[in-house]
Homo-oligomer: A and B are copies of this chain.
Amino acid sequence: MATNQTPYSALTQRLSELTTLDEIEGLLHWDQEVTMPPGAAEARGRQVSVLGVLRHERATSDTLGSLIRQLEGDRTLVPEQQANVREARRAFDRAQGIPPDLVRQWGEATVMAHGAWVKARTASDFQLFAPHLERLVALARARAAAIDPNRPAYDVLIDAYEPGMTMERLDGIFSELRDFLVPFLAKIRAKPQPDTTCLHGEVSQPDQERVAREMAEALGFDFAHGRMDTAVHPFCGGAGATDVRITTRYRTDRFQQSLLAVVHETGHAMYEQGRDRNLADQPVSMARSMGVHESQSLLWETQVARSEAFWRGRLPWLQKQYPFLQAVSLPQFMSALNAVDFTNAIRVNADEVNYPLHVILRYELERDLLNGDLAVADLPEAWNQRSEAWLAIVPASDAEGVLQDIHWSMGAFGYFPSYTLGALYAAQLFGAAQQAHPDLNDQLTAGDFSSLRSWLRQHVHQPGSRWETDELLRRATGSALDCSWFIRHIEQRYRPMYGMV
């Protein structure tokens, strides 16, 4: 610690260093997915590993721990500084609590499990993956106990993605949601299904890239502080708030998939680009949670770019870009774009109405695995039962069922709920923005996204991690998480579309 430095500035310097290492790690990851030559994979693994070890040393240092302890009692700190200390404490406890030997075992087990999962999925044989998953569940329990032995393991794991969220609360939210969605889907299924083939024209990748870039820029993606590239998986990454990089992939016969994926990643990107620049290297400025991050991508994707208000203004523009759309009417376009798909068993391809059921299914299974209420051996059966009951689909194989997602092979237990929490937050935030700007739909039609952007910046991006998620929502929308906003949104969009008014 330099002389004349206050404890708080000593803390911010150390936290800034950790953020900087995370930014570098972000660049290594982006490069690996986008630009790295194939033969560099082994070296990249070494680079990520060395950086991770250095980061871990610094994230768990005694000096950092005692600075945090010292500042936790310091009532001279302003609220923003107190929040920064609180977030530093949360990260420190999670990093420092896990003994090095467990860190090592976890690292080895996830590498093995991921390899086994790839093989198992290719062979569509869950048994190849099962022993690895058993080991990961056991190690995840040990990790959770090391961080906090007084709380249920799964609650401790959720905390990594959605701080403060608990099984008890998720059980309630997800029951309410499932109890609405399952019968609602049954009603939709009984109606005539829209024709989606009007969207199936062929569009070259360069044409799609041009349109995607223009769309991202129109929504507010800042290309001076970001990039857009092609990669196998769409993601939002990069090297900090001034260097936000999104990717997408292109299917030449399904332009709408890439276009909506770009809008989705643009939502993530604008959250990062909109963070408080003066504090961008401090935890207090960071995204509140995975769920809140997903709320920003889903708000732009589903609330905006799947809305009729948006396409009333944009469709003529898109028809100029893609002439085969010229004969498509706005109602036809909207029905095709938002059609509910009853033939799909895969989460990442799911529509907005089915998606939460995919998530709730995974949530219940991983919750039960971690609680010891479900044996790994019984997982495929439990998966297929729920899939049949809720989605009315029995997966054709393990590959299309229990093995479809990468998450468990990485040990990311507790991650799945974020997707649906994000959808709920998105509906609630967009509803509040509409209340604040009663003409918001007209603005979307006019292609003017500035009010919405400003509202999000003020209520979500700039606050970052200043408040816990419920407090953030209360300040932005007047109440804590409330899934009636999402249910109302689904009803308002899909009842008229399926003649259920």
B27 touches A243 (CB 8 A): no
Residue A118 at the B interface, CB < 8 A?
no
- With A44-B239, A239-B44 known to touch, is A222 a contact of B21 (CB < 8 Å)? no
In this complex, what residue of B is CB-closest to A243? B40
Per-residue CB contact flags for chain A residues 237-265 toward chain B (1 = under 8 Å, else 0) read 00111110000000000000000000000
Q: Is A233 an interface residue (CB 8 A)?
A: no
Write out, one digit per residue, whether chain A residues 3-47 have a CB within 8 A of any chain B CB (1) or not (0): 000000000000011001101100110010001111110111011
Task: Say if the beta carbon of A406 comes within 8 Å of chain B.
Answer: no
**What would 20 A/B residue contacts be, using CB atoms closer than 8 Å?**
A16-B46, A17-B50, A20-B50, A23-B43, A24-B47, A27-B28, A35-B227, A36-B243, A37-B223, A37-B243, A38-B224, A39-B243, A40-B225, A40-B239, A40-B240, A42-B242, A43-B243, A43-B280, A44-B239, A46-B281
The answer to whether A54 has its CB under 8 Å from any CB of chain B is yes
Given contacts A37-B224, A38-B224, contact A242 B23 (CB under 8 A): no
Whole-angstrom CA separation of A369 from B130 in the bound complex: 71
At the interface, yes or no: A226 with Cβ under 8 Å from chain B? yes
B-binding residues in A (CB < 8 A): 16-17, 20-21, 23-24, 27-28, 31, 35-40, 42-44, 46-47, 50-51, 54, 222-227, 239-243, 280-281
Report whether A47 and B35 are in contact in the complex, using a CB–CB cutoff of 8 Å: no
Q: How far is the CB of A4 from chain B (nearest CB, A)?
A: 16
**Shortest 6 CB-CB contacts between residues of A and residues of B:** A40-B243, A39-B225, A39-B224, A20-B50, A40-B242, A43-B240
Q: How far is the CA of A243 from the CA of B51 in the complex (A)?
A: 18
A20 touches B46 (CB 8 A): yes
Given A27-B27, A224-B37, A239:B21 Cβ within 8 A: no
Asked, given contacts A21-B50, A46-B20, whether A39 binds B239 with beta carbons under 8 Å apart, the answer is: no
Question: Shortest beta-carbon distance, A434 to chain B, in Å?
Answer: 31
Q: A241 to B42, alpha carbons, bound, how many Å?
A: 11
Query: Within the assembled complex, what's the spacing in Å between the Cα atoms of A43 and B51?
Result: 18
When chains A and B are docked, how far (Å) is the Cα of A241 from the Cα of B27? 19
User: CA separation between A316 and B79, bound complex, in Å?
Assistant: 73
Closest chain B residue to A27 by CB distance? Answer: B31
Give every chain B residue within 8 A of A31 (Cβ-Cβ).
27, 31
